[in-house]
Amino acid sequence: MSREHIVDTARRMVEASGVETVSMRKLAAELGVAPTAIYWHVGGRDELLSAVFEQMLTDLPPIRVRGRTPAERIASIARAMRAQVQATPTLQRLALHLGRAPQASFSGHLALGRELTAAGLDGPQAADALRAVLYLMGGFVLLESSLRDRPPSAQRSEDLWRAVDDPQIAPPLVAAMSRPADPDAAFEYALRALLASILPR
């Protein structure tokens, strides 16, 4: 019944069934202990979740940079960050819940900073570029996750498009929007478009 054992158990529960469903009482039952015993070792619920978050952070592998040109290397970082976020949905939900989203991806921020410096960008312009890439990546994964763990009653954008009959919109466009999006392709498209405008050539 150490603090370590409690945090480990909480982490297993969070990873198995999500942040929301983990309660102090269920955790206590899992530990075979009274709910109030937990408060002696860790603080309240949010302090416990913070400890879980910190533990998961240390297990995060570093971001690997690939490619030769600056555009390739920056794109590879953005892809790696997105992949890491997608591979650790629980960590991301925790980060969001605790308001520590920046910390969960900060090693990627630094990697982007290094590549932009190497590409010859500097100062406010480099910061604009860095933030643009971060916003694009972060926005994408946030959107994707909010689409993924939607409630059962959720509507899909495709279904709304299928009912569209607007003479000012080309029918092939309506047809294309009525098919499910390929998020990977959409991300590649937007990322390339952004980087093409951002980087000096």
Partner DNA sequence: ACCTGAACACCGTTCAAGT
Which one of the spans 7-15, 21-29, 78-86, 101-109 is the region binding DNA (CB under 7 A)? 21-29
CA separation for the pair 183, 172 (Å, rounded) = 20
Taking the C-alpha atoms of residue 87 and residue 165, their distance in angstroms, rounded to an integer, is: 39
Which range binds DNA by CB under 7 A, 24-32, 55-63, 116-124, 183-191? 24-32
- 112: three-class secondary structure by DSSP: helix
Residues numbered 71-110 forming contacts with DNA, rule: CB under 7 A:
none
Tell me if 26 contacts DNA by CB under 7 A: yes
x-or-dash pattern for DNA, window 34-53, by CB under 7 A?
A: xxxx-xxx--xxx-------
Residue 35's binding partner out of a copy of itself, DNA, none, with CB under 5 to 8 Å set by partner kind: DNA
b/e map 31-41, b = 16+ CB within 10 Å: beeeeeebeeb
CB of 112 to a copy of itself, least distance (A): 9
The answer to whether 176 and 162 are in contact (CB under 8 A) is no
40 binds, among a copy of itself, DNA, none (CB under 5 to 8 A by kind): DNA
- Any idea of the CA torsion for 53, 14, 78, 158, to the nearest 10 degrees? -150
Binding site for DNA (CB under 7 A): 1, 22-26, 33-37, 39-41, 44-46
